[in-house]
A and B are shown apart, each in its own frame.
Chain A
Amino acid sequence: MKTDSTAVGMTVRGTVMHEGSPSTGPGILAQLWDKGWVRRAGLLILLCALWEWYATRLANPLMVPTFSATLQALVDAVRSGGLPARIVTSFKILLTGYGIGVLLALILAMAATMTRLGSDLLELCTSMFNPLPAIALLPLALLWFGLGNGSIIFVLIHAVLWPVALSAHGGFSAVNGTIRMVGRNYGLSGIRYAAVILIPAAFPSLLTGLRNGWAFAWRTLIAAELVFGVSSGSGGIGWFIYENKQQLEIPSVFAGLITVILIGIAVENLIFDRIERATVVKWGMKSSGGRNVKIRSAA
């Protein structure tokens, strides 16, 4: 069975190799084509060109502005300082909500790992609240905390808390018995045991949880800002999009959306990937399970 599957795998890889290195030999173009980022950059340029072509043909900037107009709007918004200020506002709120959410999640997961009742509580709460989209709590949040950052932070905490607590609890429970015994052997207990043994040992799962939590928080933040950035004088990026739509500055709406995408990518690749390389990969603890969870959250 096992030999069969490896044999198939090797044949498949063999075919790919043949297609990847055409009869022309390893020319510079072929070598470039073998690099993933070159192929993706090529596709991206193609998509942007299609957009430009379609928008120009449509000639209705109120519906679909051209790519170049969007780019121009983005550059203008950055230059005028309007967009950077919005980004700062968004991040302040985001980090507050994310920070509180992660902290609560760690406490909850810790309690769930140490006590049976805590584990029941976590299971009950996550099964109840995880299916509830954070944005659905917005009306209630408005009622409780009024128009303002308090409401957004409340919704963000809800978005972050449950998925992070679940990952953290999974990670803590999966810490192997030998490492636990080693920790206790050297006299660790309580908070020190958690800080020195449990958290680093569960770090691969924790990082996956933090990633998922970030993805949920970012989407929730933009959605919440779209709904009621209206009230607060200095709105975030969501409010920037909403405001420009009201003023029919459609290229700026597109620019806002591109900003949301760019920031999302930047945080994933610059921050989380870097943390992963500096920790889990360096320690040889990278689990293949992490990737799957990440894909599911992005869907």
Chain B
Amino acid sequence: MAAVADTPLLSVKGVTLRYRDQNGIVTATDKVEFQVSRGDRVVLLGPSGCGKSTLLKAVGGFLAPSEGNITLNGRQVAGPGPDRVMVFQEFDQLLPWKTVRENVAFGLLASRSLPKGEAHERALEAIRTVHLEQFADAYPHTLSGGMKQRVAIARCLAMKPEIILMDEPFAALDALSRRRMQDELLELWSEYQFTMLFVTHSIEEALLLGSRIVVMSPHPGRVEEIIEAEQLQAAAGAHPEIAERIRQVLFRDAPDYVI
């Protein structure tokens, strides 16, 4: 048992990601290394261009690392799979031709995790946990942005995946809804203790949501510092000094006008 607890759930080892665009080959991340244990809320924090989203997609299996490897439960990640469910920033991650309930059940049915009846039952359950039971039969285009993201989270919770991958899910929301969604996400976590890898460029959000924070620098993305749970817990709620430290790490090489 102890051995199981000790081996990390997700391990990213020396991962270099390259992709091709019109100007040639771009190195998104360079020899990135970090680990996620069960029940962790790990935040990948960095400015735009640090490859954090690309890294998340690599964990999701949507692109293969050029160097290094990514393992989940000791098995190499070889492609997308329902054991790592992504929640995207874009509202159109919901299928517009399906109702809220069908969208949530879709994951379970597409991955053949549950038969139809049970899938719909579990979908309703998940919809209840994000307080959208009144909208179970509504189509996504009738929902607000925050509600759409909640449906996406419900779809992902219903799957009970090994790890939840969140790609700035609240970035497109207004400040008020964002704040509420962050609180709700934490509430959901304290209830279900899921493992989550969360990408953001907001220091505030990282401090609020993370139990560990992986701070990344841009061009190419490198891990600058990993702030551990103990440090975050010790600061208990208000983290002005940690925020300041992250800011210094992030803007170490930046010219003054950026800040």
Contacts and interface: CB of A to CB of B under 8 A. Distances in A.
The answer to whether A binds B is yes
Interface of A: 176, 178-179, 181-188, 192, 196-197, 200-201, 203, 279, 282-285
A84 B93 CA distance: 49
A179 B97 contact: no
B224 to A, nearest CB: 28
A186 B95 contact: no
Nearest to B156: A185
Contacts of A188: 110
A182 B148 CA distance: 14
Given A185-B86, A203-B97, A284 B110 contact: no
Contacts of B159: 186
Nearest to B161: A185
Interface in B50-64: 57, 60, 62
B92 interface: yes
Contacts of A179: 92-93, 95
A284 B91 CA distance: 13
Size category of the B interface is: 20 to 34
Interface string B101-137: 0000011001110000000000000000000000000
A188 B108 CA distance: 11
Nearest to B89: A178
Contact of B142 (A183, A196, A284): A284
B60 to A, nearest CB: 7
B140 A284 contact: yes
Contacts of A178: 88, 90, 92-93
B197 to A, nearest CB: 14
Interface in B8-29: none
B96 A284 contact: yes
Most chain-A CB neighbours within 10 Å: which of B90, B110, B112? Answer: B110
Interface stretch (B35-43, B68-76, B77-85, B237-245): B77-85
A200 B95 contact: yes
B96 A186 contact: no
Given A283-B97, A285-B97, A183 B110 contact: yes
B247 interface: no
A185 B97 contact: no
Contact of A181 (B80, B82, B107, B112): B80
A186 B82 contact: yes
Nearest to A184: B80
A214 to B, nearest CB: 22
Contact of A282 (B60, B85, B111, B139): B139
B110 A196 contact: yes
A181 B139 contact: no
A187 B107 CA distance: 9
B141 interface: yes
B238 to A, nearest CB: 36
27 contacts: A178-B88, A178-B90, A179-B92, A179-B95, A181-B57, A181-B60, A181-B62, A181-B80, A181-B88, A185-B80, A185-B81, A185-B84, A186-B82, A186-B85, A186-B107, A186-B110, A187-B110, A187-B112, A192-B110, A196-B110, A197-B95, A201-B95, A279-B97, A283-B96, A284-B139, A284-B142, A285-B141
A184 B60 CA distance: 10
Contacts of B92: 176, 178-179
Nearest to B110: A186
Contacts of A283: 96-97, 139, 141
A180 to B, nearest CB: 10
Contacts of A176: 90, 92
B232 to A, nearest CB: 29
Contacts of B84: 185
A285 B141 CA distance: 8
B94 to A, nearest CB: 8
A187 B159 CA distance: 12
A179 to B, nearest CB: 6
Contacts of A200: 95, 97
Contacts of A197: 95
A199 to B, nearest CB: 10
A192 B139 CA distance: 22
Given A197-B95, A284-B140, 10 more contacts: A182-B86, A185-B86, A186-B82, A186-B85, A186-B107, A187-B80, A203-B97, A284-B141, A285-B97, A285-B141
Contacts of A182: 86, 88, 93, 95
B144 to A, nearest CB: 13
A284 to B, nearest CB: 3
A285 B88 CA distance: 20
A186 B110 CA distance: 6
B4 to A, nearest CB: 25
Nearest to A280: B97
